[in-house]
Amino acid sequence: MSDYILLYILFAPFAGAIALIFASNRQPMLVRGIAAVSAGISLVASLYLFYAYDPVKGGFQFIHKFEWSRQLGIALHLGVDGIGTPLVLASSILLFAGIFVSWHIKDRTKEFYIWLLILAAATIGVFMSLDLFFLYFFYEMSVIPMYLLLGMWGSHTKKYLEMTDQEGLKQRDSVGFIFNFAANSKEYAAMKLVLFLSAWAVVALMGILLIYRYSGLNTFDILQLREHAKLMNIPVLGTTLDRIIWVLIFFGFASIAPLWPLHSWSPVGHAAAPAATSMLHAGVLMKLGHFSIIRVAFEILPDTTRELMPIAAVLCIFSIIYGGFVAFYAKDTKYVIGYSSSSHMGYVFLGMAALNYIGLSGAVIYMFAHAMATGMLFAMAGWVYDQTHTRDIPSLGGLANRMPFIAGCFVIAWR
């Protein structure tokens, strides 16, 4: 059992998604059941993983390696360390919870659960990958389902589809659609999110490919590259090149975190997303950024990290303050949570930028804690929206009278 634990966690949701393809929308309970069971297997397995991970021994445990292409040095290399384990657990908790939160979805239930399972499984995949190729593979895989989840099951903030420009042309049919920042349709949010994230993912990919090219090891294996970095000491690949790669990797992955100047897709995406997706999105997807930066930039380019991370910390502080201010003024529940998340993520960055044991372990704990709290908040926001059909905060005044339980949960989640 314990030998293949990572495979259970990773492939249970994928297997569930495949099984769902053959289910029918006419039996919604069966569909939900399959999704819940596969997520449940993943949850139980990751609880076991959390219990079985040996913190005294530390390092990477439960390692699996399957050759994928020997010539290119790509292998499905899985393993978790003390950072990956809690995040894997958080993902499977949120996936399991998300399935129950979206129990009421009646429109194309099957497809919704398929994409939700793929999204969560891809996220888990990133947290386990010890191979740069597969890290990127799962990372990219977690971005695209967001488009469908938002575009199909999301919600508009305005009566967007009827909006026309001066010439009477429907706005969604004009090319300016993609750059139309005023409109808050779910389609716009979905497109913005996917384009932003894939654009920055590609920047990170450039960094990864440069590492592959200049390390000369002909491998994508993170452990080997890390050993290489240790042996070579400073500078790993040549100082300037190291800095370029570091910047590419950092900003590429920080976009999903989301760091301050790259954050603008995030609140829009949160607002448009259905509750379960927001939960996964804010709960774990954002952490992909921090995690990947730790995994790639910190592990492979330690010296450059020591040099540049303090500079990047300035952006983190901006992120914290800016996110906080906007959240303070926002009038939409989901915007508030979205901006507050992006503010909190700044703290994680700051913890990482401390570059010491306490800072880093604080960041990891914070990531796990934030995953739980935000997951809960978005679930609450979703429930409130289901009952009231509004997310406008001024019109939700005195809600605690009618929904004392939810109000209580809000308080707990928001500390």
Residue 140 makes contact with other proteins by CB under 8 A: yes
CA neighbor of 280 nearest in space, from 126, 81, 409: 126
Q: Is there binding between residue 178 and other proteins (CB under 8 A)? A: yes
Distance from the Cα of residue 366 to its chain's centroid: 15
Sign of torsion over alpha carbons 131, 133, 139, 145:
negative
In three-state secondary structure terms, 14 is helix
288 SS3 class = helix
Question: Using the rule CB under 8 A, is 380 a contact of other proteins?
Answer: no
414 near other proteins, rule: CB under 8 A = no
Beta bridge partners of 75: 67
Residues 144-163 close enough to bind other proteins by CB under 8 A: 144, 147-148, 151-152, 161
Q: Please give the Cα distance from 368 to 371 (Å, whole number).
A: 5
CB 23 within 8 A of CB 112: no
Strand, helix or coil for residue 24: coil
**Of all helices (H) and strands (E), which one includes residue 61?**
strand 61-69
Contacts of residue 18, Cβ cutoff 8 Å, sequence gap at least 6: none
Q: Is 365 in the site for other proteins (CB under 8 A)?
A: no
Under the binding rule (CB under 8 A), the answer on residue 194 touching other proteins is yes
Q: Is 240 in the site for other proteins (CB under 8 A)?
A: no
Q: Which of residues 110-129 bind other proteins (CB under 8 A)?
A: 111, 122
**Binding of residue 217 to other proteins (CB under 8 A):** no
Phi, psi angle pair for 288, to nearest 5°: -55, -40
Position 138 contacts other proteins (CB under 8 A): yes
Binding of other proteins by 64 (CB under 8 A)? no
- Both tokens of 393, joined, read 């905060």
Beta carbons within 10 angstroms of residue 66's beta carbon:
10
Interface pattern 318-337 for other proteins (x via CB under 8 A): --------------------
Min. distance of Cβ 342 from other proteins in angstroms?
A: 22
Residue 172 interacting with other proteins (CB under 8 A): yes
Closest CA to 384 of 325, 324, 321, 337: 337
Considering only 210, 317, 372, 396, the residue that binds other proteins (CB under 8 A) is 210
Q: Which of 47, 63, 206, 317 binds other proteins (CB under 8 A)?
A: 206
Site string for other proteins, 85-114 (x = CB under 8 A): -----------------------x--x---
Write down the least CB distance from residue 326 to other proteins, Å: 27
When binding is defined by CB under 8 A, the residue of 2, 27, 69, 387 that contacts other proteins is 69
Q: How many residues bind other proteins (CB under 8 A)?
A: 39
Structure tokens at 124: 């888990």
**Distances 247 to 115, 140, 232, 297 between C-alpha atoms, Å:** 32, 19, 20, 9
> Which of 7, 44, 63, 141: binder of other proteins (CB under 8 A)?
141
Q: Can you tell me which of 58, 103, 104, 199 binds other proteins, judged by CB under 8 A?
A: 199
Q: Which of 2, 58, 173, 176 binds other proteins (CB under 8 A)?
A: 173
Question: Of 131, 113, 152, 88, which is closest to residue 20 (Cα–Cα)?
Answer: 113
Helix, strand counts (H, E) of the chain: 17, 2
* Member of 22, 29, 51, 71 binding other proteins (CB under 8 A): 71
Amino acid at 328: F
Nearer to other proteins, 110 or 344 (CB): 110
| Tokens found for residue 410 | 């809000």
Give contact residues for other proteins (rule: CB under 8 A): 68-69, 71-72, 108, 111, 122, 133, 136-138, 140-141, 144, 147-148, 151-152, 161, 172-173, 175, 177-178, 187, 190-191, 194-195, 198-199, 202-203, 205-206, 209-210, 212-213
